[in-house]
Amino acid sequence: MARKITKAVFPVAGLGTRFLPATKASPKEMLSLVDKPLIQYVVEEAIAAGIDEIIMVTGRNKSAIEDHFDRSVELEHTLEAKGDAERLRLVQQIAGMVDFCYIRQNEPKGLGHAILRAKKLVGNEPFAVLLGDDIIHSPRKPAIGQLMEVFRKTGAPVVAVEQAPMENISAYGVVAPASRRGKLTHVRSMVEKPQREKAPSNLAIIGRYVLTPDIFARLEATEPDYKGEIQLTAALNALARRRKVLALEFEGIRYDAGDKLGYLRATVEFALRHPDLGRSFRDFLKGLPL
């Protein structure tokens, strides 16, 4: 099987309940982080890693995502008429970023089910998966690119992991290591959101994956869990019994932008790093009576 990855699946059908009421009528992926919607950071990460086709698995109330990555002829005309070349470039750039296709997940049956919806569009190729809640700052090499590099060398499916504090471990899929070599772990098994006492390690799965097409058969064979959801972690666990699956502790800072506090952290840190705003924002923070 070829080891070049060109397609990425973005499951974006989630209801964003952790972020209500902000997400009642607009998608959580469109919440703005400083001056760009969250989803654009993740799309830019994929493009920086060499992805040239993005498959968005969407749901109801998500048309703003499609519109954001489409042309906006009216806006372009207005900016052109005003002679605002800088902003015109900005909006045109977004529409021309990469090829997008959209498919609906019309039932809320979990992450595994969302990925299964992309089966036909992915075809018989390895592919990347990026979850929009996880924003990763990694200026040297995009996080998904780091996983793709491991895949190029090994041909094995790879999940991103980081060491999480044990008090939060139940929020994640967790890897049980068979063996570890530096940042790379050979996965023995994995379990979705275990109770803290039952967690097999502190290696928490973060929303970046490189998967091989044999995951689809495992997803099809996965029974829904107690919530009626088909979990990707369960399918990957089944895959790990049949072939080598790896976990990579990637380089970069990850923010859980689907959570209110995580989103605030991301907002402050991205604003501090922003080339135009960073300096004045820092001065503003220093002046706060904390």
- Nearest distance in Å: CB 192, ligand G1P: 5
The reply to whether 205 sits near ligand G1P by the rule CB under 6 A is yes
Q: Using the rule CB under 6 A, which residue among 34, 37, 118, 134 binds ligand G1P?
A: 134
Structure tokens at 133: 């809640």
CA gap 286, 261 in Å, rounded: 20
The phi, psi pair for 204, rounded to 5°, reads: -95, 135
| Nearest-5° Cα angle at 115, 2 to 107 | 160
The reply to whether 23 sits near ligand G1P by the rule CB under 6 A is no
Q: Which CB, 15 or 121, lies closer to ligand G1P?
A: 15
Which x/- pattern, by CB under 6 A, does the window 72-111 give for ligand G1P?
---------------------------------------x
Q: Which of 112, 108, 76 is nearest to 91 (CA)?
A: 76
Q: Using the rule CB under 6 A, which residue among 58, 146, 233, 237 binds ligand G1P?
A: 233
Structure tokens at 1: 């099987």
Structure tokens at 189: 């098994």
| Nearest-5° Cα angle at 271, 266 to 272 | 105
Please provide the DSSP assignment of 258-277 as one string: TSHHHHHHHHHHHHHH-TTT
| Contacting ligand G1P within 267-286 (CB under 6 A) | none
Q: How many residues bind ligand G1P (CB under 6 A)?
A: 13
Residues 260 and 133 sit within 8 Å (Cβ to Cβ): no
Q: Which CB, 122 or 236, lies closer to ligand G1P?
A: 236
Q: Using the rule CB under 6 A, which residue among 9, 65, 79, 131 binds ligand G1P?
A: 131
- Interface with ligand G1P by CB under 6 A: which residues? 111, 131, 133-134, 172-173, 192, 204-207, 232-233
